[in-house]
Amino acid sequence: MIVQKQFFSIDSFLFEEENRRIPVKIGYETYGSLNQAKDNAILVCHFFTGTSHAAGKYQENDALPGWWDALIGPGKTIDTDRFFVICTDCLSNINFNNPNVVTTGPASINPETGRQYGMDFPIFTLKDVVKTQKLLLDSMGIQKLKYVIGPSMGGLQAFMWARHYPEMVEKLVSVVATPMMRPACLMVPNQLGIDAIMLDPAWKNGNYYDSMPPKSGLLLAFKILLTATRTDHWSHSNFGRKFTNQDSARTPFNSFSEKFLVETEIEKTVLQRMQFFDANSYIYIAKANSLFDLCENDETLEQALKKIKIPVQMIIDQSDLMFTQEQAEEARTWLSDCEVVYYNSRNGHLSCLYETDYFSSALKNFVV
């Protein structure tokens, strides 16, 4: 499936928390065709550090397809022969090195100053992100979605949809996400990742666009993120206690530059992903995750969840350390129509991307 990035502009987008308006451009992709009745649309929301490139390839010889290509495509679980699938970039998902990701963020030029926003970019929440999606759908004339689905931060957005635009969503599917951002999850990786980037002297309060970006801080933030989204079992079965330099396994290990294989492999993965990431964007999206909260005003979570009446499917990996079975069971008691599907990859949160076979048939049964 050959796909292409598209763009949607909002002349004056209101950031609710700061009550500020700025022009915003959002990257998105679509797969399949919108039917005449405009009633076959599905919204897919991406995970933290992901992009709107959810499926297909830009060119036949791309090394890898979009991140949920295993699920989305002709005849697949999310069947593009029948449905029109939309995936948008999260606000601030800019990357100045990658022309395919140009969603407005801290690295964008502030038209008022002619310079990058940096840390003057407005703080946003996932409610704002969902609103950009709503405006895109409005512009397409789509009044109802078959369902909203996403893994991790994408699942949080699905809950935001059900909470704020219930009349537009038939069903929601939350993969490896519960409708709560509990404090452990808020700390790891979000707040600790922010700390790591801000600690890097190259960060310079976010004003690094004319100099070297804070690579070391971003590397540490990504390492914290990747470690938190995996398990003891995953790293043990993949790397054990091997040293990167295999010759040194039993020779004197007397330098801080000698590393374990687990660390250098994680760094290798991270460095690939980091090419497409701006450190300030990481800070803003991590903050948006930390601020995730379904409650409005003085509502409790119980009250907020009881307002969600549409059918919900929560797909939870029992080895996930961030969005746990305990959270899912608590949420289930407050949702009026909720099915929880458990699987156990033993590999943690990231199984949502690489081991979709665990849940694809349960998903298919729910969304037919």
Q: Closest approach of Cβ 286 to its own copies, in Å?
A: 10
What binding mask, one character per residue, do residues 298-327 give for its own copies by CB under 8 A, x or -?
x----------------------xx-x-xx
Query: SS3 for 229?
Result: coil
- 320 as an active site residue: the answer is yes
Candidates 239, 342, 343, 358; binder of its own copies (CB under 8 A) is 239
Q: Closest approach of Cβ 15 to its own copies, in Å?
A: 9
Residue ranges of the alpha helices (H) in the chain? Answer: 126-140, 153-164, 183-185, 192-199, 215-228, 232-239, 261-274, 279-290, 301-306, 325-334, 351-354, 360-367
Which residue shows structure tokens 């992009």?
Answer: 51
Q: Closest approach of Cβ 45 to its own copies, in Å?
A: 22
Candidates 55, 220, 331, 367; binder of its own copies (CB under 8 A) is 220
Candidates 3, 156, 175, 185; binder of its own copies (CB under 8 A) is 185
Candidates 60, 201, 257, 333; binder of its own copies (CB under 8 A) is 201
Nearer to its own copies, 70 or 156 (CB): 156
Nearer to its own copies, 295 or 362 (CB): 295
Count CA atoms within 13 Å of residue 94 on its CB side.
20
**Angle CA 304–86–273, to nearest 5:** 90
Comparing C-alpha atoms, which of 67, 19, 323 is closest to residue 188? 323
H or E element, residue 116:
strand 115-116
The encoded tokens of residue 98 equal 């990658």
Q: Are strands 145-151 and 312-317 parallel, antiparallel or unpaired?
A: unpaired
Candidates 23, 62, 139, 199; binder of its own copies (CB under 8 A) is 199
The encoded tokens of residue 284 equal 């803003």
Nearer to its own copies, 117 or 366 (CB): 117
200 contributes a contact to its own copies by CB under 8 A: yes
b/e sequence 4-28, b meaning 16+ C-beta within 10 Å: ebeebebeebebeeeeeebebbbbb
254 contributes a contact to its own copies by CB under 8 A: yes
Candidates 4, 18, 139, 354; binder of its own copies (CB under 8 A) is 18
Contacts with 45 (C-beta within 8 Å, 6 or more apart), sequence order: 87, 88, 133, 148, 149, 150, 153, 154, 155, 157, 158
Candidates 192, 342, 358, 364; binder of its own copies (CB under 8 A) is 192
Q: Closest approach of Cβ 203 to its own copies, in Å?
A: 10
Catalytically annotated residue among 128, 320, 345, 351: 320
H or E element, residue 354:
helix 351-354
Nearer to its own copies, 53 or 223 (CB): 223
Q: Closest approach of Cβ 157 to its own copies, in Å?
A: 18
DSSP 48-62: TT--S--SSBSSTT-
The set of catalytic residues is 152, 320, 349
Contacts with its own copies by CB under 8 A lie at 17-19, 119, 122-123, 181-188, 191-192, 194-196, 199-201, 216-217, 220, 223-224, 227-228, 230-236, 239-241, 250, 252-256, 259-263, 266, 283, 287, 290-291, 293, 297-298, 321-322, 324, 326-327
